[in-house]
Structure 1
Amino acid sequence: MKRSLALSIFAWLLAGLCQPALAGQSDPSQSDPKAVIRLLPGQAHPEGLAGLEIQLAPGWKTYWRNPGDAGIPPTFDWSGSENLRDVTVLWPAPSRYDQEGASSAVYHDEVVLPLRISAIDPSKPVKLAVGLDYAACKTICVPAKGSADVTLPPGTPAQGDGSAEIAQALKKVPVPQEIGATAPLAIKQVRLDTSTSPAHLTIDVTAPSSSALFVEGPMKWYLPMPEPADGADKANPQRFVLPLEGLPKGATIAGNELRFTLSTGEAGVESLYRLP
């Protein structure tokens, strides 16, 4: 439960550092020196797309959906939207950041989160409005708030409306892949060893360049970040080890599902593994 305690302490410290640092605008020229958000319009057609851009000052970072040992993930409020049936946030592959013994999954400088949207009435525009709570971090983290809205027309989006940025971000979203797939970027094998305390997993991967491995488990499982195995090439590890610690008291291992994300920071794959 060390990681759970660390997260609680971090959140408490983060809340007390300062008041929210900014209110993001759709126009990035009206920005705080640390960070600003804006919505990139796409289209309101069924299975339409938009984008949420977080621009950070040089050297600053923000967190992925599962922040790691320390950090807070972004949270979204879409309640101000109109004619919006549903919105799904798609997460580009993150990078690993290590500092003072803590490892986090982050985005540096800027990120566009593609948004898959559906309209209640596809023949009409959607007013997409977001309130965002997130963290902007350099040597310390400050809590940040942003809000933005944009109207998405039905049908094909116009030229120059952010579609290029959204398309580029979509290329970085990890794709689902079976364990054992034959591909340049893949999770080849996962093995469980219960002879140690705690039990641990060994994960073999294939990656053409420097990569990082992230794991997500059931709610209230505070798993550590997988580490390169002893003797692995730290610049391009092909084997990772994950101790199964940080589980709730009395939790059983068998039958639970883990989601692994293998990321180069520019692309990624997601694979599901059910613990035997």
Structure 2
Amino acid sequence: MKGIVLGVLMSLIMSVSYGQYGVIIDYTKETWSEVKKSKLYVVYENEGTSAYDKALKDAITANWKFNTVEYINYEKYEELQKIESNFFLLSVDFTSSQTGRYNENLSYIYIVRGYKKCAKKGDISRFPKLAAIQTGDLSREIYLPLLMKHLNKSIEEVAAGKITSLGDNTKKLNANRSKVKSKVLYLLETDLNDKVTSEKDIKDGGYEGKVKVVSKEELAKKIKDGEDVNILFCARSSTKSYIHVYNASTGDEYYNSFNLVTKKWPAGIIPYHFKKWNK
């Protein structure tokens, strides 16, 4: 695999803004109008042959409605990346090595514009970034249809003028939080931890909604079928745990939060989250 990475400084900036406020980076309606009229080049990680590449293509085929796409390999991307009217969807390895507790190692999907003065090979830190979504690492393929549905919907809202700023997006996300308990919330056993070990712990902890811990196969089917249920997605690094809740039918995000991983606050679902969902 030809890795694509972000520079450390840009990565840290993007982590803060994305982690709390959603997937859109460029809220300019004109930018997305240009993207809509153009082709989106989807860059394979491994020539289209890996499980991830195949899952990404299936997810885009089923859920990407915004514009036309073309799948390319890394070599073709290097040929096209200097043309500033080109747009790319890239799977990016987010890496930073900073002393202390804020080290990160996560995967993202980015939409970027071509950049004439390209940085060093494999580094997109200077490319104009339009959108980003966390894909995590653990079992990430099963979540791709849901993540692409959410990304597509978020972009369509900006292109239509329904969301015009970071503030608009934050207000929508805060308003959606109460919808988490309106549908059954599905999660994997790997989303549990020493603090929350079972469905019973969640119920005993005071969560007012319904929750089901299911197998990877069952969760994948609910996502693929677009059932009207809520899905918990946890993206984690060695130091942080990011929790998202999406509706599998609409692609709407209902919750977005992160915590530093400690003994008191481990990765995955913790009482802090379902107390927030009750409000």
Q: TM-score, normalised by structure 2?
A: 0.29
More helix by share: 2
More strand by share: 1
Q: TM-score, normalised by structure 1?
A: 0.29
Rg larger for = 1
